[in-house]
């Protein structure tokens, strides 16, 4: 019998490699301990330096091959391998478990702080883009022409005012489901941060388009739906401030108002929200929730159709919004799921938002995130056990 092999255990449980450390895990730092019961020749060679030559040689290999991440310890007659990911330049003493635990706590705290800072920064970017849209609308309402443009959908289907409320309801339902999936995701902060960044990019583009081209409202009965325009020759700062606060409080949902501001048409913000939430469900739900993806598709496209049927948007508004959202969403995920060393040289790195998002993805592991769910709160313990069972069924 030769010495005990480093890649096998007598309990027939394979030993997992430590892997590279990243801040995406909610557990922060992972300490992997594998119990290995070696053969007698291996133990004798390890303890006394004697026995057969194979045991002594393999013992020397165990301490010289990658000794910074693999350590053998003797405990209760067993040899315990402790594998620690390579996170920084300071290495704890091989036999000091308290030092390893302290290092794990420091890394976990650092990752939690980094996640919080980056998520808040992404949310700030989203708020800037959204508030810029609201502010522009308060001014464009009084500038946009009043005669609607011809549209094929309006010629085929009479405008239905009730469909606008349906679009708001379906958008809200899609958002609730998507945010629930994010809250239950193992890498919830990474997914939430990505959603904020994508929303900031798309609403920033929307603000640029709205600010340079003014389209007339698409309603046939504009005077019954849109608020009256204010004479621009007089100072009306109070009117603009009132409009702005109203849209901030309602988050742009206007289905409950008697008359609304008109002119924010190209491109459809409701379609951006519907499409983003749909793609989040496609990308970040476990494989076992395939039925949720099929349920999200009709909700999304019925909501988009309702926006046009209601007369709230031209057909081109929703087409352009869906096209831009799909391209930005999938381009973002394609480039930031590449190997980090290859990202800067990839053709997609020429996109204007690449370097804006590069810092946010610096500590996210390469490749696609594992779609596993975890309970977002420390307790109760039964919830964590239940989530483990759910994960087992959804894989």
Instruction: Give DSSP secondary structure letters for 224-291.
Output: HHBPPPPPTTS--HHHHHHHHHHHHHHTT--TT-SSB-----SS-HHHHHHHHHHHHHHHHS-GGGHH
pLDDT exceeds cutoff 90 at 223: no
Distance CA 357, CA 197 (A): 8
Please list the residues that pair with 83 across neighbouring strands: 32, 70
Q: pLDDT grade, residue 325 (50/70/90)?
A: very high
Q: How far apart are CA 281 and CA 330, in angstroms?
A: 13
Predicted confidence band of residue 23 (pLDDT cuts 50, 70, 90):
low
Distance, CA of 327 to CA of 343 (rounded, Å): 18
Binning pLDDT at 50, 70 and 90, where does residue 234 land? low
What does the pLDDT look like over 51-94, one tens digit per residue? 444 444 444 444 444 444 444 444 444 444 444 443 344 444 55
Q: Are strands 78-83 and 70-75 parallel, antiparallel or unpaired?
A: antiparallel
DSSP state of 147: S
Residue 369 scores a pLDDT above 70: yes
Angle between helix 97-140 and helix 237-250 axes, rounded to 10 deg: 130
**Residue 301 exposed, middle or buried by CB count within 10 Å (0-12, 13-18, 19+):** middle
Q: What is the pLDDT of residues 302-324, one digit of tens each?
A: 999 999 999 889 999 999 999 99
pLDDT more than 90, % of the chain: 32
Report pTM: 0.71
Strand pairing of 70-75 and 32-36? Answer: unpaired
CA distance linking residue 163 with residue 225, whole number of Å: 14
Mean pLDDT of the chain: 77
pLDDT band at 147 (very low <50, low <70, confident <90, very high): confident
What is the pLDDT, as a whole number, of residue 120? 94
Which residues are 78's β-sheet partners?
75
Q: Which helix (H) or strand (E) holds 79?
A: strand 78-83
Q: How confident is the model at residue 256 (pLDDT cuts 50, 70, 90)?
A: low
How far apart CA 247 and CA 235 sit, in angstroms, is: 21
Report the C-alpha gap between 173 and 195 in whole angstroms. Answer: 17
Question: Would you say residue 285 has pLDDT above 80?
Answer: yes
**Nearest-CA neighbor of 161 among 249, 248, 250, 257?**
257
List helix spans (H) across 285-314: 290-309
Rounded Cα distance, 164 and 253, in Å? 10
| End-to-end CA, the chain | 40
- DSSP 8-state code for residue 35: E
**Greater model confidence, 39 or 390:** 390
Phi and psi of 29, rounded to 5°? -125, 135
Q: Is the pLDDT of residue 207 over 80?
A: yes
223 in Cβ contact with 148 (< 8 Å): no
Which residues, 6 or more positions from 332, have their beta carbon under 8 angstroms from its beta carbon?
A: 194, 197, 198, 357
- Cα(35)–Cα(81) distance, integer angstroms: 7
Whether residue 81 contacts residue 70, with contact meaning beta carbons closer than 8 Å, is answered with: yes
Q: Would you call the peptide bond into 173 cis, given omega within 30 degrees of 0 as the criterion?
A: no
Active site residues: 270, 313, 317
- Domain ranges within the chain, ordered by starting residue: 1-95, 115-394
Spatial CA neighbour of 204 closest among 142, 136, 283, 261: 136
Mapping DSSP to helix (H, G, I), strand (E, B) and coil, where does residue 185 land?
Answer: strand
């Amino acid at each position: 019998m030769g010495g005990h092999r480093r890649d096998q255990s007598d309990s027939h449980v394979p030993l997992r490699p430590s892997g590279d450390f990243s801040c995406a895990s909610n557990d922060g730092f992972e300490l992997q301990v594998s119990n290995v019961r070696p053969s007698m020749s291996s133990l004798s060679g390890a303890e006394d330096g004697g026995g057969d030559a194979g045991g002594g040689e393999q013992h020397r290999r165990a301490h010289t091959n990658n000794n910074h991440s693999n350590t053998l310890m003797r405990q209760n007659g067993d040899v315990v391998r402790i594998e620690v990911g390579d996170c920084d330049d300071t290495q704890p003493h091989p036999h000091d478990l308290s030092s390893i635990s302290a290092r794990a706590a420091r890394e976990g705290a650092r990752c939690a702080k980094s996640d919080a800072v980056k998520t808040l920064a992404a949310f700030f970017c989203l708020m800037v883009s959204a508030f810029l849209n609201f502010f522009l609308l308060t001014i464009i309402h009084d500038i946009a022409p009043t005669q609607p443009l011809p549209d094929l959908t309006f010629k085929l289907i009479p405008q239905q005012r009730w469909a606008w409320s349906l679009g708001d309801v379906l958008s809200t339902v899609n958002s609730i489901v998507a945010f629930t999936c994010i809250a239950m995701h193992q890498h919830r902060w990474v997914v939430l941060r990505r959603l904020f960044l994508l929303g900031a990019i798309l609403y920033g583009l929307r603000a640029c388009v709205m600010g340079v081209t003014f389209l007339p409202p698409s309603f046939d009965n504009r005077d019954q739906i849109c608020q009256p325009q204010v004479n621009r020759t007089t100072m009306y700062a109070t009117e603009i401030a009132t409009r702005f606060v109203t849209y901030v409080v309602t988050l742009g949902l206007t289905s409950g108002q008697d008359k609304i501001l008109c002119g924010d048409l190209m491109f459809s913000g409701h379609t951006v929200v519907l499409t983003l939430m749909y793609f989040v469900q496609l990308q970040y739900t476990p494989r076992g929730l395939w039925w949720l993806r099929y349920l999200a598709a009709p909700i999304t496209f019925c909501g988009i159709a309702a926006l046009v049927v209601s007369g709230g948007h031209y057909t081109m508004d929703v087409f352009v919004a869906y096209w831009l959202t799909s391209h930005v969403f999938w381009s973002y995920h394609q480039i930031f799921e590449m190997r980090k060393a290859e990202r800067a040289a990839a053709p997609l790195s020429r996109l204007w938002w690449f370097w804006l998002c590069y810092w946010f993805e610096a500590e996210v592991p390469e490749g696609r995130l594992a779609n596993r769910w975890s309970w977002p709160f420390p307790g109760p313990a039964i919830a964590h056990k239940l989530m483990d069972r759910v994960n087992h069924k959804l894989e």
